[in-house]
């Protein structure tokens, strides 16, 4: 164990001291922060104050856009007392202090065409959507009134329906969408970890074999100790990187919140929509999301993620190490790694099925088989999978990971010293049974 610890420490320190590791670890949170800043800036710029003149020849929209003025930077002013034709207004609207002119022709409610916005610069997407929404809603009301419908009653009928879920006589407050998003994120992270760091283990083994450094190392340590130390060391690098990413991302988000507090408040105001009705709707959405987060069993999700993260990596990294030891040149890489990567890719495909039907037979067996359980089970856990299923899955993965390490060590001890010989899968199988 002492020698394994030395090798683990060597592999760990060698990689965390590299400039590439430090650069990648620091770069990702910074990029996330820059992306957030860009989104906030774009959102706040979308709230650029606009003073728009309305030339309404239909007479249907007189003072009907006032709801957009309340608490908004978008302001409409009606040219009711301005008898000038449209062409004349367009020549002088900028000198009058307007940013644009919204022209509404004398329209047919059944064929509402001809709405035009004149300006010297492009209108923002958010502003355009608000204008179109306001016009569409007003036309809808006018048509309903024409047909003798009570618009107040119809407005009351426009309600969002929430279904209360009672599973096994217990009320569930969680959101299926949030659970799916959480499960997908966890599954994707483990998938990336298995591929990236598994390949890193194989590359490290192959390089030492090609450079014949391993022939020196095996004189002081046993081959299986070298393999285990290498797997654990690189795995520790991956865990360190993810922990640092999480911590730095939170720090960046906190810093942005402090630095751009006013802009964030502006974005929240924009998201509140038009008027108090939309504001309360937005508030309700935020409350629902907060409640859904609280309903998630975060300690269980975190514990499960770490477990499947570690043992899924050990299960696959030992295979990559064995294949790396058996390879004699880079041309063998594709044929040897294909059987390992295929189950991981299939697991990603199965994950989409799991998100739609987390308790289907495919999802169940995918979460039990060790080749797919690190990805599939962590995807299912936010959906409150029964504990007994998870415990069985964890035990199977634990035993399988230890068994795979044993088999990989058998292959590693022989393959690491083989040079200049074309290796086949049949021969690799024989190595497993060598005494």
pLDDT tens per residue across all 435 residues of the chain: 777 887 888 888 888 888 877 787 777 777 766 776 666 565 555 455 677 888 877 777 766 665 554 445 667 777 777 778 888 888 888 888 888 888 888 777 777 777 888 887 766 666 677 777 777 777 777 777 777 776 666 665 555 555 554 445 554 555 566 677 777 888 888 888 888 888 888 888 887 777 777 777 777 778 778 888 888 888 888 888 878 877 777 776 676 666 655 555 555 554 444 444 444 444 444 444 455 555 567 788 888 888 998 999 999 999 888 888 887 666 666 677 888 889 888 998 898 888 888 888 888 999 999 999 999 998 888 888 889 999 999 999 999 999 999 888 888 888 777 776 777 777 888 888 777
Q: Which long-range contacts (CB under 8 A, 24 or more apart) does 163-171 make?
A: 167/384
SS3 label, residue 101: strand
168 conformational bin, left if phi > 0, alpha if psi -120 to 50, beta if neither: left
Rounded CA gap, 215 and 227, in Å?
13
Count Cα atoms within 13 angstroms, Cβ side, for 92. 9
For 69-114, the pLDDT digits (tens) are 444 566 777 777 777 888 888 888 888 888 888 888 877 777 777 7
Query: What pTM, to 2 d.p., does this model score?
Result: 0.65
Instruction: Sketch the domain layout of the chain as residue ranges.
Output: 2-38+176-432, 49-156
SS3 label, residue 115: coil
The fourth-level CATH superfamily of domain 49-156 is Periplasmic binding protein-like II (3.40.190.10)
Residues 6+ apart with CB under 8 A from 384: 167, 172, 174, 297
């Amino acid at each position: 164990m002492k020698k394994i610890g030395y090798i683990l420490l060597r592999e760990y320190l060698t990689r965390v001291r590299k400039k590439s590791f430090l650069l990648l670890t620091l770069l990702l949170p910074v990029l996330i922060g820059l992306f957030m800043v860009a989104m906030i800036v774009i959102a706040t710029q979308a709230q650029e104050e606009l003073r728009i003149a309305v030339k309404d020849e239909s007479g249907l929209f007189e003072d009907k856009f006032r709801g957009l003025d309340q608490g908004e930077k978008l302001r409409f002013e009606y040219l009711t007392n301005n008898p000038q034709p449209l062409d004349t207004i367009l020549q002088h609207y900028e000198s009058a202090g307007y940013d644009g002119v919204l022209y509404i022709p004398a329209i047919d409610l059944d064929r509402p065409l001809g709405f035009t916005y004149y300006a010297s610069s492009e209108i923002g997407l958010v502003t355009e959507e608000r204008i179109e929404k306001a016009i569409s809603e007003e036309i809808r009301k006018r048509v309903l009134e024409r047909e003798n419908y009570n618009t107040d009653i119809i407005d009351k009928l426009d309600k969002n329906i929430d279904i209360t879920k009672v599973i096994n006589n217990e009320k569930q407050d969680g959101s299926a969408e949030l659970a799916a998003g959480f499960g997908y994120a966890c599954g994707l992270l483990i998938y990336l970890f298995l591929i990236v760091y598994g390949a890193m283990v194989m590359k490290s083994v192959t390089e030492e074999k090609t450079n014949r450094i391993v022939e020196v190392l095996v004189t002081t340590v046993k081959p299986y100790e070298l393999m285990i130390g290498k797997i654990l060391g690189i795995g520790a690098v991956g865990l360190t990187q993810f922990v640092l990413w999480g911590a730095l991302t939170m720090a960046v988000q906190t810093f942005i919140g402090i630095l751009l507090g006013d802009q964030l408040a502006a974005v929240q105001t924009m998201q509140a929509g038009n008027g108090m009705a939309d504001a309360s709707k937005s508030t309700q959405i935020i409350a629902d999301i907060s409640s859904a987060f609280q309903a998630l069993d975060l300690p269980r999700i975190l514990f499960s993620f770490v477990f499947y993260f570690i043992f899924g990596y050990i299960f696959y990294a030992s295979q990559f190490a064995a294949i790396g030891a058996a390879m004699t040149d880079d041309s063998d890489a594709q044929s040897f790694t294909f059987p390992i990567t295929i189950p991981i890719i299939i697991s990603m495909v199965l994950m989409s099925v799991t998100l739609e039907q987390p308790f289907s037979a495919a999802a169940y067996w995918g979460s039990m088989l060790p080749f797919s359980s690190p990805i599939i089970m962590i995807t299912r856990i936010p959906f409150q999978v029964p504990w007994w299923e998870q415990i069985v899955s964890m035990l199977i993965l634990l035993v399988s990971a230890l068994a795979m390490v044993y088999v990989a060590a058998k292959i590693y001890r022989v393959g690491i010293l083989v040079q200049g010989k074309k290796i086949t899968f049949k021969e690799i199988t024989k190595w497993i049974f060598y005494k």
